[in-house]
Amino acid sequence: MDLKGKNILVVGLARTGVAVARFLAAQGARVTVTDLRDETALAGPLEQLAGHPVTYVLGRHNEADFAAAETVVVSPGVPQESPYLQAARQAGREVITEIELASRFITAPLVAITGTNGKTTTTTLTGELFAGCGFRTFVGGNIGNPLIELVATGAAVDRVVVEISSFQLEWIRSFRPAVAVLLNITEDHLDRYATYQEYIDAKARIFENQTASDWAVLNVDDPIVAGLTGRTRAAVFPMSRQRELAEGIFYRDGVIIFRHAGRQERFPTDRFRITGVHNIENIMASLAAALLLGCDADRALACVEAFGGLPHRMELVRELDGVRYFEDSKATNVGSVEKALASFNDITLIAGGKDKGGSYAPLAGLVAERVRHMILIGEAKDRMARELGHLTDTRMTVTLEDAVELAASLTQPGGVVLFSPACSSFDMFRDYEERAQRFRAAVDALSPGGTP
């Protein structure tokens, strides 16, 4: 893709936008950056672009800029129905995201991982597997480094592993992973998509440009994912935690088993550091992608056994008075909380936050069966109480700290206090990380007997 002299508009000046603008300018493109924020709000990003030949349109968007650009590189945060993006498309202009742009310059085999839940853990672990098996590996995308940074550095790599969100997939054109992994699909981002089906369709685009020489790793335990088998031309490699497979990767009696083309590899799980049913699925997906692209089974097993997981995903914070306290602040949707509840019994669940528009009904069975007490916080607490409160002892508190104190007083020895919100954090906190830190601080402040 020759960029020299091309008129390219970059929409949004977050970290990825800065990386894109810098790369395009270095390639000789005529770059315009537009952002609804003004110069004061963008002081940091503008400083990073100092010295680069970039034109700025800040504090506003001009429809003429969108219509005049040969290519528009849009931040994933901008919705498809933006009138400015529609103006660009009506003018026949190409609209893409950074992932699409970067992929046009990458020749190494690429693993793309998406799903409502688990994609960050799976992406990170897959990168660890390739690196541990001797491949020069780049890991990024929706986590860590933008993919365009790999292209900009010109670094030689053997494998590329990227986490891909539905937002990033909305504007792909030729993006084609050698291995596409779809972990699961549950209701999420209904504040962005008009219907659940729109969200599903966006996720399914990960397979759009694959050919018969590529692989699609599908979690066939998830009925929606299984139903997408016909949406790819790639060779389907199924994964299942619930049943044995003649070809694919599955879990049985404490062992993950990989079967492919007459080859069988066994991965005992007893020494794994990350636990829970969701992590079995994440590990299976990572192993499938790694082994399909040349990783050695023994070295891969050693990497999995050494992997300690990610912050804010089912982390044990403390055990006090016979009660374990788990922090799962990154569980921002119902599907993620389902996996968490399935991993424990005798649970005091702390949940709530900013409502994302989906139904809480999928949690009903697990709440009735496994949750002894439920403590709700945040904007969503009233709707959660209406949908789930009748299933167990349910209380409400104003602050997260109050919820922790109440949980400590209610939970008997042998029980689990699980902070798994099922909502985003923006009603009360800057982000899920600040929310996690507040929970951990509240738990650490408890003294024996459940009082601070």
Question: Which positions are catalytic?
Answer: 119, 142, 189
Instruction: Name every residue whose Cβ is closer than 8 Å to that of residue 97 and which is 6 or more positions away in sequence.
Output: 73, 74, 75, 76, 167, 168, 170, 171, 172
Instruction: Name every residue whose Cβ is closer than 8 Å to that of residue 139 and which is 6 or more positions away in sequence.
Output: 123, 124, 126, 127, 145, 161, 162
**Short-list 209, 257, 260, CA closest to 237:** 260
Q: Is 390 exposed, middle or buried (0-12, 13-18, 19+ CB in 10 A)?
A: exposed
Assigned token pair, 79: 């919705």
What distance in Å separates the CA atoms of residue 150 and residue 156, rounded to the nearest whole number?
A: 9
How many other CB atoms are found less than 10 A from the CB of residue 153?
12
Assigned token pair, 126: 């897959």
Compute φ and ψ for 61, nearest 5 degrees.
-120, 145
**Short-list 127, 143, 160, CA closest to 313:** 143
Instruction: Name every residue whose Cβ is closer than 8 Å to that of residue 312 and which is 6 or more positions away in sequence.
Output: 327, 328, 329, 330, 432, 433, 436
367 touches 376 (CB < 8 A): no
**Short-list 255, 197, 186, CA closest to 219:** 186
What distance in Å separates the CA atoms of residue 39 and residue 45, rounded to the nearest whole number?
A: 9
